[in-house]
């Protein structure tokens, strides 16, 4: 059963001049932890606003838990939890006051649904008298999640919840989402960090308002049959430029200490590249074939999408 | 040229009352090196960076940047460094050209050369008519490239980058790193503070701060080997999990 169903949604801004979402369709199954992965400006927040009934699409339909986002907006608002990308709690209320406020707005009490937030709340409880505006990034994020959960939502929308928090808090946050998933809550979460894709059941890669692919991470990567080489050497910048200038090079991008290179001829003519770099007097050159990762795949899909236009 | 030491610290310490924000840190960064300065929230990164930028005096220890002492010569330090942050870099309600003029002036470039440099920069980034648009209307990737270019316009010895490349697509991000490599190849030292570990993979060498002290330092490849993990996230998680304090 689909918990979120999106059909051919298009949204423009500034009287049609800015295309934020371009004919998007996707289904999120009930109980799924679904990741919307893409950079700033891809359209992630626009999609969240449409699904949480805060914005109306130009074209297309969408339902959340079987309810239409335009016709049934009041019913949707009762059953979804939304954590916006920008910290949106009351900065001049304490942790405790924010939580009580959100519970009251949804006609419930903190006690009634405490079981849902308990393992998150205990981490911030020692500071419950502290004003929300005075909390660290990691603590704000935990409080915002508690506030989004306190009315026991069926579907949870989390817009870039891990932006601006350190790796330890990030990992803890994803562990929390796993536990919420076990309780049967459907979660749609967006992130610009590709490494977080591995924490989702399925993902949609989104760029410039278009969906590049929807599948499990493993399937998305396995569809990428590009033959990839990792090339490293001592003079990083000169190496990068020389590889790019090489006639058989299709693409070359820096990946940490290495460069990931796709040759027009595949991997058959690696020896020629090796000789070319030796002629250019590069030292410490190592070339090895590698399996693509999610970023390689995103880049490939991005370039294909741009070339198709 | 690579052997010249541009940032030097020895037992650098900063206290705020009883709280030791930075505890006896010692490291050297060479000319042209890309040095990643990592740590969790509250680990002491910002305090240490403020000291190195000449904005805060240490409590004890030694530190020099571009050959100038952080205690006595902080004004000279400011003239020889550039700074860029994801959070604040350019004025959104000024055009690109106005921002270049403004920051160039702040960094002490004279009017005549500023005009030339400004045109060169606009050409190099292929900005064209975008140069007269408000910065606020440009995509994040453009803002990052422009603010980095502005931060090195006066050809500083060191450029400090505070979480520079979050949120952009993987190609734009690599174009940004290409610019960093180019600056580094010209001999500018790049000091990157970040808590995004995949940014750390691009650095020549990184240090990881935990509770005010440097818990590990080395090339990303060495650290990954030492901690027996395949990415910097794994290194960081092992070190930072034991941290006692958070922001």
Structure tokens at A174: 């994803």
Give the residue carrying structure tokens 């995103």. A298
B86 has a pLDDT exceeding 80: no
Q: Give the distance from CA B69 to its chain's centroid.
A: 19
Q: Domains, chain A, ranges and CATH?
A: 2-222 (3.40.50.300), 228-291 (3.30.70)
**CA–CA min distance B112, chain A (Å):** 31
**In chain B, where the domains are located:** 1-80+157-164+189-247, 86-155
C-alpha torsion sign, points A142, A146, A147, A153: positive
Contact yes or no for A302 and B168 at CB 8 A: no
**CA–CA min distance A104, chain B (Å):** 30
CB atoms within 10 A of CB B64: 18
pLDDT tens sequence across B140-194: 888 999 999 999 999 999 999 988 877 788 999 899 999 999 999 999 999 998 8
What pLDDT does B1 receive?
A: 46
Element housing A221 (H / E): helix A217-222
> DSSP assignment, residue B165?
S
Structure tokens at A256: 């940490």
> Which residues does A26 contact at the CB level (< 8 Å), separation at least 6?
A4, A6, A204, A211, A214
Q: Tell me how far apart the alpha carbons of residues A39 and A212 are, in angstroms, rounded to a whole number.
A: 12
**For chain B, what is the mean pLDDT?**
91
Contact (Cβ atoms closer than 8 angstroms) between residue A263 and residue A252:
no
pTM of structure? 0.90
What pLDDT does B211 receive?
A: 92
Q: Answer whether A192 touches B (CB < 8 Å).
A: yes
Does the structural domain B1-80+157-164+189-247 have CATH classification 3.40.50.300? Answer: yes
Weakest mean pLDDT among A298-302, B37-41, B121-125, B234-238: B37-41
Q: Least CA distance to B164: which residue of chain A? A: A164
Average pLDDT on B35-41 reads 89
Contact (Cβ atoms closer than 8 angstroms) between residue B179 and residue B148:
yes
**CA–CA min distance A49, chain B (Å):** 19
State in Å, rounded, how far the first CA of chain A is from the last one. Answer: 34
% pLDDT > 70, chain B: 97
pLDDT band (50, 70, 90) for residue B43: confident
pLDDT tens sequence across B93-133: 999 999 999 999 998 899 999 999 999 999 999 998 899 99
Residue ranges of chain A whose pLDDT lies below 70:
none
What pLDDT does B245 receive?
A: 67
Q: How many CB pairs under 8 A join A and B?
A: 100
Q: Least CA distance to A239: which residue of chain B? A: B181
Q: ipTM score here?
A: 0.86
Average pLDDT on B204-225 reads 94
H helical segments located in chain B: 45-52, 74-79, 96-106, 111-124, 140-151, 170-185, 197-200, 220-226, 232-240
What pLDDT does A165 receive?
A: 81
Give the residue carrying structure tokens 């840190």. B25
Q: Is B246 exposed, middle or buried (0-12, 13-18, 19+ CB in 10 A)?
A: middle
């Amino acid at each position: 059963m689909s918990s979120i169903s999106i059909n051919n949604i298009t949204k423009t801004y500034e009287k049609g001049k800015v295309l934020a979402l371009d004919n998007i369709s996707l289904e999120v199954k009930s109980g799924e932890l679904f990741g919307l992965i893409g950079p700033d400006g891809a359209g992630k927040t626009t999609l969240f606003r449409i699904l949480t009934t805060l914005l109306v699409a130009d074209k297309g339909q969408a339902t959340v838990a079987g309810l239409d986002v335009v016709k049934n907006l009041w019913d949707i608002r009762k059953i979804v939890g939304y954590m916006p990308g920008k910290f949106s709690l009351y900065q001049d209320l304490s942790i405790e006051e924010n939580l009580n406020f959100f519970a009251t707005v949804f006609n419930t009490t903190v006690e009634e649904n405490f079981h849902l937030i308990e393992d998150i709340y205990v981490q911030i409880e020692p500071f419950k008298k502290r004003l929300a505006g005075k909390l660290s990034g990691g603590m704000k994020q935990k409080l915002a999640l508690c506030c989004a959960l306190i009315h026991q939502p069926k579907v949870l929308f989390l817009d870039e919840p891990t932006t601006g928090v350190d790796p330890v808090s990030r990992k803890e946050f994803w562990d929390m989402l796993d536990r919420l998933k076990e309780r049967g809550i459907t979660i749609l979460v967006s992130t610009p960090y590709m490494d977080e894709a591995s924490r989702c059941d399925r993902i949609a890669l989104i760029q410039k308002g278009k969906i590049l692919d929807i599948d499990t991470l493993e399937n998305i990567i396995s569809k990428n049959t590009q033959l990839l080489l990792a090339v490293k050497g001592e003079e990083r910048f000169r190496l990068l430029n020389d590889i790019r200038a090489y006639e058989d090079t299709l693409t070359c991008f820096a990946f940490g200490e290495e460069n990931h290179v796709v040759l027009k001829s595949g991997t058959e003519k690696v020896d020629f590249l090796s000789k070319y770099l030796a002629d250019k007097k590069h030292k410490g050159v190592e070339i090895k074939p590698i399996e693509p990762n999610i970023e390689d795949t995103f880049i490939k899909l991005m370039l294909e999408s741009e070339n198709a236009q | 040229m690579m052997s010249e030491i541009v940032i030097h610290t020895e037992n650098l310490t900063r206290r705020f009352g009883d709280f030791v924000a930075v505890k006896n840190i010692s490291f050297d960064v060479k000319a042209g090196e890309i040095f990643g300065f990592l740590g969790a929230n509250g680990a002491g990164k910002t305090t240490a960076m403020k000291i190195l930028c000449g904005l805060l005096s240490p409590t004890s220890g030694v530190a020099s940047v571009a050959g100038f002492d952080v205690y006595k010569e902080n004004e000279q330090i400011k003239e020889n460094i550039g700074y860029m942050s994801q959070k604040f870099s350019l004025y959104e309600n000024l055009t690109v050209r106005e921002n270049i003029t403004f920051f160039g002036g702040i960094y002490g470039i004279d009017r005549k050369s500023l005009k030339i440099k400004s045109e060169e920069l606009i050409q190099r980034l292929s900005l064209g008519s975008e140069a007269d648009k408000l910065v606020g209307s440009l995509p994040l990737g453009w803002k990052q490239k422009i603010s980095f270019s502005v931060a090195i316009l006066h050809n500083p010895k060191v450029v400090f980058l505070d979480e520079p490349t979050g949120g952009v697509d993987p190609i734009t991000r690599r174009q940004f790193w290409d610019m960093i490599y180019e600056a580094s190849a010209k001999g500018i030292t790049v000091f990157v503070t970040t808590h995004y570990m995949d940014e750390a993979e691009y650095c020549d060498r990184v240090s990881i701060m935990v509770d005010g002290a440097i818990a590990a330092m080395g090339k990303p490849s060495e650290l990954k080997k030492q901690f027996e993990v395949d990415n910097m996230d794994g290194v960081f998680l092992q070190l930072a999990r034991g941290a006692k304090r958070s922001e």
